[in-house]
Amino acid sequence: MDKVIVVTGASAGIGAALARQLAAKGAKLVLAARRQPELEAVAAACGPDARAVVADVTSREQVQKLFDTALEKFGRVDVWVNNAGRGITRLFSELSEDDLDAMWRDNVKSAFYGMQVVLPYFKARGAGQIVNVSSGLGRMPTVPFRSAYSAAKHALNALSACLRMELAGSHPGLTVSVVMPGPVATDFGASALGGGPDSRSLPNVQSAEDAAAVIADVIERPRPEAYTAPQMQQQVEAYYQDVAKAEQAAAARFRR
């Protein structure tokens, strides 16, 4: 894979697994996260063509620095993966304005900055791919205590689709892809605002490696959207066929 790829949220979980898989395919990597020791360990495992950049992607200035570093290191950027994000474990009735601001900042603005920073460069080149890692909850909000997280991921999906349509006529060489994982065996749950169930203990949980493999495939075979779990598209279709029934089932699970 002769591509230069920026991956945010690369110090652990899906981002780290994706970095290792892309490195094995021959990609050159610029990996970003806030945790320096963990990030540098991932970069070291990926080999000499991986560069670690400590960055907080909720800052536009630091995202710009990340882009500039990628160009300085490798001379180009082919793919930008917005993977950084964070969950929350609070019901709607428990949410504060700060909670909503945090979910918007961590899950929407972080990707928004990446998209806006790299977009002029991709337009000038006439080629490039943005990959936004969203969530199945951005399609079917069936976990009540993930209310604000679901809302943020719905927003990310919509922004991605609108950018894709904006570029379709003027810049057909640019691709905007959305990948939607379900429950993945990472520290997502334990790291959520308000704590919450450990994602690794959930039933039918997917490994970070399996989720990352779908993202890698989307990079190799660009397409608008992909779910990381085979059954998720059917679940989403069932949700919209009968929203009331799906929400009743979700509410019953929540009451147990």
CA distances, 92 to each of 99, 155, 246 (Å): 10, 17, 18
Strand partners, 80: 6, 130
Q: Which two tokens stand for residue 249?
A: 């089932």
Work out the average pLDDT over 82-91. 95
pLDDT at residue 208 greater than cutoff 90: yes
Coil vs helix vs strand at 209: helix
Catalytic residue among 113, 121, 149, 240: 149
- How far is Cα 139 from Cα 133, in angstroms, rounded to an integer? 13
Domains and their CATH numbers in the chain: 4-255 (3.40.50.720)
- Within 10 Å of residue 153's Cβ, how many Cβ atoms? 27
Question: Considering the chain, what percentage of its residues have pLDDT values greater than 90?
Answer: 87
Structure tokens at 235: 């679940």
pLDDT recorded at residue 256: 46
Q: What is the pLDDT of residues 165-175, one digit of tens each?
A: 999 999 999 99
- Is 113 noted as a catalytic residue in this protein? no
66 within 8 A of 87, measured Cβ to Cβ: no
Mean pLDDT of 93-115: 97
Q: How many CA atoms lie within 13 A of 66 on its CB side?
A: 34
| Among candidate residues 138, 10, 24, the one with its CA nearest the CA of residue 80 | 10
- Dump pLDDT digits (tens) for 15-45: 999 999 999 999 999 999 999 999 999 999 9
pLDDT at 131 over 70: yes
In angstroms, rounded to a whole number, what is the distance separating the alpha carbons of residues 224 and 202?
28
- In this structure, of 79-83, 146-150, 194-198, 222-226, the range with the lowest mean pLDDT score is 194-198
Tell me the pLDDT tens digit for each residue of 210-252: 999 999 999 999 999 999 998 899 999 999 999 999 999 989 8
- The CA distances from residue 192 to 89, 117, 187, 199, in Å, are 6, 27, 9, 10
